[in-house]
């Protein structure tokens, strides 16, 4: 019965929502008529018209309150009263423009930085790549080794494995695959080479992805027949538009890529930029062309050449679970059939997202850390806002008292206060969105230019929802305490004597909030200082080579299908050209630069007792040409560099670094010693020792390394310049084309640019955490300033009394300063404890500094104390100038 009655009332109120105006008017009529009838009755009883009217009103009661109650009871929180609250809130905020702007700015910073990080989370993890049909039906298929752990256990598929899954999996309506690591392709455009990015894709890639073409046709499985490779390409829309001038007659024409002619059969639909985030190929060609395109034999047959990223579209009615089950069974079949290569290999499915499944963990961890850091900034901003609102609420005790005396319930007052704080946080959210779009594009500039990455960071609905949800939580979070506190008023008391009501209680809560704020600030400041100092350390780490006067460029004549002799001839002639350039003092080649992402390793043993130690020492190998050490500025500690004739006759000589010499022959002269490579019969003679540098990362401990000759066709040209290396970059590219018009150098850059890759992590964390620390400091300063100024104005009378009783100005100063330093002191103790614990999470990102660095503790304590003093300064001065006579008369 009761439940049904509740339902009745609910639906009655729902209906009333739509007929408010009429109902209000009718109700007013009804009341007026009632009053009229009452008055008439009193008149007929012999009262005067006026007395009758008064008596009627008395008997009837408070019409205004009744109308208000009636309106509220008739339906739900009415729009009109919400509007009134909003309007009133806006007026209250406008009344204190300074503090309002302060709160909004603080919140906008806090919300904005979180929104900024979220745009990256959105772009990398949440947003499906553009152009795909029903991306939620796609699943990524990855091979994983059952015995390994971490993201490293996941591998792309080999071609034979992919073909097996494609042909046998019934839970997928189709499985597409593409080259996960597209390389630069040389486009021979009427005799001149240009670098393009191309991607090899399976014949069904476009149909499974649901991507259409704007011109011509997409690939079909028949185009991708391994036994009959067809040289066909589909162009990316932007490439066709920008580089080929939207030529409508392009179909059927051919384009020369890495020395082979390809027929253009289509142009992809506009907006489709590729199968993975950040990579934007200029063209696609079938997988079956891979050996022709990249001159890498064995790609289509090798079961250990894992290079294909595969996405399957779930067949109707299938789920990740059923698909995973089938794929696992198929993987087991492969394992049995090919026990040599597929042993312990399983398959894992991931949902489809811009960042490949296995790497999402890293992105999540990094963005998660940033979210946590900026979440703390937001906490500080919230505490600021809350204490400011509480200060204002204290000033509004009288207003609240009067409103509650006039019949406003407590719920009504809380609603009014909450509407005000939500108004603040939503204005802040709008500013935050602006801030987020600005800073996220600034952050993109931190990505090293050498990585061919382009990320779109749209402010789409997810970002909007996230931002406004954060704003909502923030608004309620910082608004609810002041609202509860501020509305707990005893009208009689408050109206009688506003002065000291409840101020002790409120100031205690404010103190607690300030302690929290200082503590959070200390945590942020501590990690910020660590990261900034680590960045400074990283910039001053000696990588073991010249990071100033070197220019580099990558060359790969092998991609044009040249023979070894032709490759050698090209490099010799290029060397001759480069060395005659003005400002160039030397040049050489290296297979890959130290601190790059590539790596070559081997195991070595001391040649004198080869065979005695079967397990060799793992060393990093660098293949170089004579002159490398001089060009790169690697100091030779003993012996000599390779000689040109040693290179020509392929002499078995090597140069070792000091770390390797120390490992193999401690205390002996390594020159002339023999070394045996794992897996090679011949021994090599050590002819030189160089200083140990950094090879994999800037923070590493000394790694043993050796330098040998015998370079593959793909090499990095290193050029030592007398002046700044930027001036020779154009000349290098020009000389390459003069030597061979079909060749193009890629990644032509100064060594300083190259170093932005190994410095990336240190720079990003240093910059972002440094920014967070700075924000925390400024916000805390504002917060302390606000609270202390308020307490000074609250204590004006007390200070006046003290001064009248003979307290000197210094005593007043101590009084105010003590309050500030007390808060900071407790905050520092709590904050440092938390900071030392949380800084351990950062230890893997730090260079040359321990997470419990004492100097950093000192810096933070000093900084925090200085900020407190600064925040106290102006209020203290105001307190010291208090005139006791005026202060005592004040009330």
Partner 1 sequence: MGEGKSEVMQGTLDLMVLKTLYAMGPLHGFGIARRIEQLSQDVLQLNEGTVYTSLLRLQQQGSIASAWGTSENNRKARFYSITRLGKKQLEVETENWERFAGVVGRVLRQEGQ
Residues that bind partner 1 (CB under 8 A): 5, 8-9, 12-13, 26-27, 29-31, 33-34, 37-38, 59-63, 66, 69-70, 73-74
Q: Residue 6 or residue 741: which is nearer to partner 1 going by CB?
A: 6
Q: Residue 409 or residue 808: which is nearer to partner 1 going by CB?
A: 409
CB-count burial class (<10 Å; 0-12, 13-18, 19+) for 238: middle
**How far is Cα 194 from Cα 181, in angstroms, rounded to an integer?**
19
Please state the three-class secondary structure of 802-841 as a single string. Answer: HHHCCCCHHHHHHHHHHHHHHHHHHHHHHHHHHHHHHHHH
Q: Residue 34 or residue 613: which is nearer to partner 1 going by CB?
A: 34
**How far is Cα 70 from Cα 28, in angstroms, rounded to an integer?**
10
> Which residue is it, tokens 């897996």?
679
Q: Residue 56 or residue 463: which is nearer to partner 1 going by CB?
A: 56
List the Cα angle 881/884/889 in 5-degree steps. 125
Q: How far is the CB of 18 from partner 1 (least distance, A)?
A: 15
Partners of 142 in the beta sheet? 348
Q: What does DSSP assign to residue 157?
A: B
Nearest to 380 by CA among 110, 98, 113, 111: 110
Q: How far is the CB of 47 from partner 1 (least distance, A)?
A: 17
Q: How far is the CB of 36 from partner 1 (least distance, A)?
A: 9
Q: What does DSSP assign to residue 206?
A: H
List the Cα angle 98/103/106 in 5-degree steps. 120
Q: How far is the CB of 412 from partner 1 (least distance, A)?
A: 17
Q: Residue 31 or residue 130: which is nearer to partner 1 going by CB?
A: 31
Within the chain, what is the greatest distance between any pair of CA atoms?
Answer: 135
3-state helix, strand, coil in the chain (%, to 5): 55, 15, 30
Q: How far is the CB of 492 from partner 1 (least distance, A)?
A: 21
CB-count burial class (<10 Å; 0-12, 13-18, 19+) for 1: exposed
Instruction: Determine the number of helices (DSSP H) and then strands (DSSP E) in the chain.
Output: 28, 23
**Rg of the chain's alpha carbons, rounded to an integer?**
37
Q: How far is the CB of 82 from partner 1 (least distance, A)?
A: 21
Paired tokens of 605: 């043993």
Q: How far is the CB of 63 from partner 1 (least distance, A)?
A: 7
Is residue 424 helix, strand or coil?
helix
The tally of CA atoms less than 13 A away on the side-chain side of residue 728 is 30
Q: Give one DSSP letter per residue of 14-74, joined into a string.
A: HHHHTTHHHHHHHHHHHHHHHHHHHHHHHHHTT--HHHHHHHHHHHH--HHHHHHHHHHHH
Q: Residue 27 or residue 822: which is nearer to partner 1 going by CB?
A: 27
Is residue 7 helix, strand or coil?
helix
Paired tokens of 833: 């404890």
Q: How far is the CB of 79 from partner 1 (least distance, A)?
A: 19
Q: Residue 36 or residue 601: which is nearer to partner 1 going by CB?
A: 36
| Chain centroid offset of residue 79 CA | 40
**How far is Cα 757 from Cα 451, in angstroms, rounded to an integer?**
8
Q: How far is the CB of 42 from partner 1 (least distance, A)?
A: 13
Q: Residue 27 or residue 781: which is nearer to partner 1 going by CB?
A: 27
Q: How far is the CB of 66 from partner 1 (least distance, A)?
A: 4
Q: Residue 21 or residue 609: which is nearer to partner 1 going by CB?
A: 21
Q: Residue 29 or residue 564: which is nearer to partner 1 going by CB?
A: 29
Q: Residue 38 or residue 711: which is nearer to partner 1 going by CB?
A: 38
Nearest to 781 by CA among 653, 868, 691, 715: 868
Q: How far is the CB of 37 from partner 1 (least distance, A)?
A: 5
Q: How far is the CB of 59 from partner 1 (least distance, A)?
A: 6
Q: Residue 409 or residue 635: which is nearer to partner 1 going by CB?
A: 409
Q: How far is the CB of 54 from partner 1 (least distance, A)?
A: 14
CB-count burial class (<10 Å; 0-12, 13-18, 19+) for 232: buried
Q: Give one DSSP letter per residue of 428-483, joined into a string.
A: HHHHHHHHHHHHHHHHHTTS-TTS--B------HHHHHHHHHHHHHHHHHHHHHHH
Q: Residue 30 or residue 542: which is nearer to partner 1 going by CB?
A: 30
Q: How far is the CB of 404 from partner 1 (least distance, A)?
A: 20
List the Cα angle 310/128/157 in 5-degree steps. 10
Q: How far is the CB of 14 from partner 1 (least distance, A)?
A: 11
Paired tokens of 228: 């009959």
**How far is Cα 250 from Cα 247, in angstroms, rounded to an integer?**
6
Q: Residue 27 or residue 873: which is nearer to partner 1 going by CB?
A: 27
CB 183 within 8 A of CB 294: yes
Q: How far is the CB of 44 from partner 1 (least distance, A)?
A: 12
Q: Residue 33 or residue 572: which is nearer to partner 1 going by CB?
A: 33
Q: Residue 26 or residue 542: which is nearer to partner 1 going by CB?
A: 26
Q: Residue 33 or residue 883: which is nearer to partner 1 going by CB?
A: 33
Nearest to 712 by CA among 506, 841, 882, 555: 555
**How far is Cα 543 from Cα 698, in angstroms, rounded to an integer?**
7
**How far is Cα 401 from Cα 487, in angstroms, rounded to an integer?**
8
CB 252 within 8 A of CB 236: no
Q: How far is the CB of 16 from partner 1 (least distance, A)?
A: 8
């Amino acid at each position: 019965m009761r439940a049904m009655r509740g339902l009745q009332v609910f639906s009655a109120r729902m209906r009333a929502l739509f007929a408010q105006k009429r109902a209000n008017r009718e109700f007013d009529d009804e009341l007026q008529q009632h009053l009229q009838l009452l008055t008439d009755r009193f008149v007929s009883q012999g009262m005067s018209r006026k007395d009758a009217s008064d008596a009627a009103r008395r008997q009837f009661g408070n019409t205004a309150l009744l109308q208000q109650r009636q309106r509220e009871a008739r339906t739900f929180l009415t729009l009109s009263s919400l509007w009134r609250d909003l309007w009133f809130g806006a007026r209250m905020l406008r009344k204190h423009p300074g503090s309002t702007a302060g709160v909004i700015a603080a919140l906008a910073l806090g919300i904005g930085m979180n929104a900024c990080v979220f745009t990256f989370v959105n772009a990398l993890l949440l947003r499906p790549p553009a152009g795909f049909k029903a991306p939620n039906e796609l699943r990524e298929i990855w091979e994983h080794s059952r015995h390994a752990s971490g993201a490293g256990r996941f591998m792309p598929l080999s071609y034979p494995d992919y073909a097996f899954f494609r042909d046998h999996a019934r839970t997928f309506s189709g499985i597409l695959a593409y080259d996960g690591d597209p390389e630069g392709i040389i486009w021979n455009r009427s005799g001149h080479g240009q670098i393009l990015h191309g991607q090899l894709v399976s014949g069904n890639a476009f149909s499974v992805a649901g991507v259409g073409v704007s011109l011509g046709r997409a690939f079909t499985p028949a185009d991708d027949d391994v036994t009959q490779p067809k040289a066909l390409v589909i162009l990316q829309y932007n490439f066709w538009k920008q580089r080929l001038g939207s030529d409508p007659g392009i179909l059927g024409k051919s384009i020369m890529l890495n020395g082979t002619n390809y027929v253009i059969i289509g142009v992809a639909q506009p907006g489709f930029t590729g199968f993975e985030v950040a990579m934007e190929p200029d063209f696609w060609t079938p997988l079956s062309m891979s050996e022709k395109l990249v001159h890498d034999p064995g790609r289509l047959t090798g079961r250990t050449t894992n290079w294909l990223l595969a996405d399957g579209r779930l067949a109707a009615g299938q789920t990740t679970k059923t698909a995973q089950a089938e794929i696992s069974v198929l993987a087991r079949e492969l394992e049995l059939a090919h026990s040599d290569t597929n042993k312990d290999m399983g398959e894992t499915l991931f949902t489809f997202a811009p960042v490949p499944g296995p790497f999402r963990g890293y992105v999540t961890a990094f963005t998660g850390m940033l979210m946590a850091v900026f979440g703390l900034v937001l906490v500080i901003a919230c505490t600021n806002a809350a204490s400011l609102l509480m200060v204002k609420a204290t000033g509004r005790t009288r207003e609240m008292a009067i409103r509650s005396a006039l019949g406003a319930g407590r719920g009504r007052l809380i609603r009014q206060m909450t509407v005000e704080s939500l108004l603040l946080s939503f204005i802040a959210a709008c500013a935050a969105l602006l801030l987020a779009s600005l800073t996220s594009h600034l952050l993109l500039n931190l990505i090293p230019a050498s990585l061919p990455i382009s990320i779109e960071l749209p402010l789409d609905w997810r970002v909007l929802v996230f931002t406004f949800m954060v704003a909502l939580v923030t608004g309620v979070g910082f608004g609810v305490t002041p609202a509860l506190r501020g509305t707990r008023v005893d009208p009689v008391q408050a109206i009688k004597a506003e002065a000291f009501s409840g101020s002790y209680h409120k100031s205690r809560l404010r103190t607690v909030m300030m302690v929290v704020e200082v503590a959070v600030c200390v945590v942020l400041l501590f990690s910020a200082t660590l990261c900034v100092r680590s960045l400074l350390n990283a910039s001053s780490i000696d990588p073991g080579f010249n990071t100033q006067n070197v220019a580099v460029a990558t060359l790969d004549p092998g991609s044009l299908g040249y023979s070894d002799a032709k490759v050698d001839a090209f490099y010799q002639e290029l060397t001759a050209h480069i060395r005659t350039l003005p400002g160039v003092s030397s040049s050489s080649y290296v297979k890959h630069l130290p601190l790059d992402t590539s790596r070559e390793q081997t195991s070595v043993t001391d040649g004198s007792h080869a065979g005695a130690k079967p397990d060799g020492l793992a060393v990093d190998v660098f293949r170089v040409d004579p002159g490398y050490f001089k060009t790169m500025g690697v100091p030779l500690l003993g012996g000599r560099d390779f000689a040109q004739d040693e290179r020509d006759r392929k002499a078995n000589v090597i140069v070792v670094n000091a770390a390797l010499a120390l490992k193999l022959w401690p205390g002996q002269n390594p020159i002339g010693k023999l070394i045996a490579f794992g897996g090679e019969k011949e021994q090599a003679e050590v002819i030189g020792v160089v200083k140990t540098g950094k090879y994999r990362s800037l923070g590493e401990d000394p790694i043993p390394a050796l330098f040998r000759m015998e370079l593959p066709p793909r090499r990095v040209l290193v050029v030592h310049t007398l002046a700044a290396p930027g001036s020779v970059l154009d000349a290098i590219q020009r000389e390459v084309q003069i030597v061979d018009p079909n060749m193009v150098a890629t990644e032509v850059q100064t060594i300083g640019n190259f170093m932005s890759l190994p410095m990336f992590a240190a720079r990003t964390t240093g910059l972002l955490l440094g920014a967070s620390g700075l924000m925390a400091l400024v916000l805390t300063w504002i917060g302390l300033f606000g609270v202390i100024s308020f307490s000074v104005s609250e204590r004006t009378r007390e200070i006046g009394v003290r001064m009248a009783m003979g307290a000197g100005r210094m005593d007043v100063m101590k009084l105010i300063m003590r309050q500030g330093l007390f808060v900071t002191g407790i905050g520092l103790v709590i904050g440092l404890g938390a900071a030392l614990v949380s800084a351990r999470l950062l230890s893997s990102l730090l260079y040359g500094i321990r997470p419990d660095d004492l100097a950093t503790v000192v810096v933070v304590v000093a900084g925090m104390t200085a900020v407190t003093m600064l925040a106290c300064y102006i209020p203290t001065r105001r307190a010291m100038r208090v005139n006791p006579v005026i202060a005592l008369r004040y009330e």
